[in-house]
């Protein structure tokens, strides 16, 4: 299958305001840059991924993505995330992509073996494989094959939305619970845990 990875990225200086009690603006920027760099490095190292597409309205994000060999797409700031992702999916489809891997940009523990594990669970299209967050509510990573059969969704409640799509289409849905993919950095407690992990 021709596989594209899509990474939606918020403007780095506006991201993670919930950490403002423990990190100032420059520290949050550094953290966001580090996580994005890791995500791009990981995805670019996975041979099964034919192309990485980063979508953002932050020009510095798009420039950084191009440094990693990724394609970029300027986000419409007035469009909701699902519309943005549908546009990115359409671009991938125009370049003959058959499957999509959508990856959140705030997964600090993401590693190549996590992506390989997810791809190894792909059996036969049509199918969806999702890696939920720790609350089993939102989706942090999703593999969709084929692109045109499913509506790309992310954020709160997206696990349930994918389950409903699978039922409606009569297709296979696998929920893959991996701690490293479930860990998205959203709170001071998450940051404390990350610091502990990095010290081990």
How many structural domains are present in the chain? 1
Task: Compute the distance between CA of residue 133 and CA of residue 183 in angstroms, rounded to an integer.
Answer: 6
Using a 10 angstrom Cβ sphere, with 0-12 exposed, 13-18 middle and 19 or more buried, the burial of residue 192 is exposed
Q: Is the pLDDT of residue 196 over 80?
A: no
Q: Is the pLDDT of residue 123 over 70?
A: yes
Query: Is residue 158 within 8 Å of residue 139, measured between CB atoms?
Result: yes
pLDDT higher at 116 or 18: 116
Question: Which tens digits make up the pLDDT trace of 6-43?
Answer: 999 999 887 787 887 888 889 889 999 999 999 999 99
Mean pLDDT of the chain: 91
Q: What is the pLDDT of residue 21?
A: 81
Residue 8: which domain range?
A: 3-199
For residue 52, the domain's CATH number is: 3.90.550.10
When pLDDT is averaged across residues 79-108 and rounded to a whole number, the result is 93
Question: Which tens digits make up the pLDDT trace of 166-191?
Answer: 999 999 999 999 999 999 888 888 88
**Of 111, 143, 108, the residue nearest 124 (C-alpha):** 143
């Amino acid at each position: 299958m021709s596989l594209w990875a899509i990474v939606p990225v918020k403007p780095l200086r506006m991201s993670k305001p919930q950490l403002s009690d423990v990190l100032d603006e420059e520290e949050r920027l550094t953290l966001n840059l580090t996580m994005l760099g890791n995500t791009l490095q990981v995805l670019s190292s996975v041979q099964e991924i034919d192309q990485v597409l980063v979508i953002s309205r932050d020009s510095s994000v798009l420039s950084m993505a191009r440094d990693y060999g990724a394609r970029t797409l300027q986000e419409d700031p007035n469009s909701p995330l699902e519309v943005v992702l549908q546009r990115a999916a359409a671009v991938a489809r125009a370049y003959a992509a058959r499957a999509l891997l959508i990856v959140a940009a705030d997964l600090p523990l993401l590693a190549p073996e996590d992506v390989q594990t997810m791809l190894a669970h792909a059996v036969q299209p049509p199918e969806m494989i999702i890696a939920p967050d720790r609350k089993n509510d939102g989706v942090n990573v999703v593999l969709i094959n084929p692109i045109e059969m499913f509506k790309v969704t992310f954020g709160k409640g997206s696990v349930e939305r994918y389950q409903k799509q699978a039922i409606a289409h009569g297709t296979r849905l696998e929920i893959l619970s991996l701690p490293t993919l479930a860990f998205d950095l959203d709170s001071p407690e998450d940051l404390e845990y990350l610091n502990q992990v990095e010290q081990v």
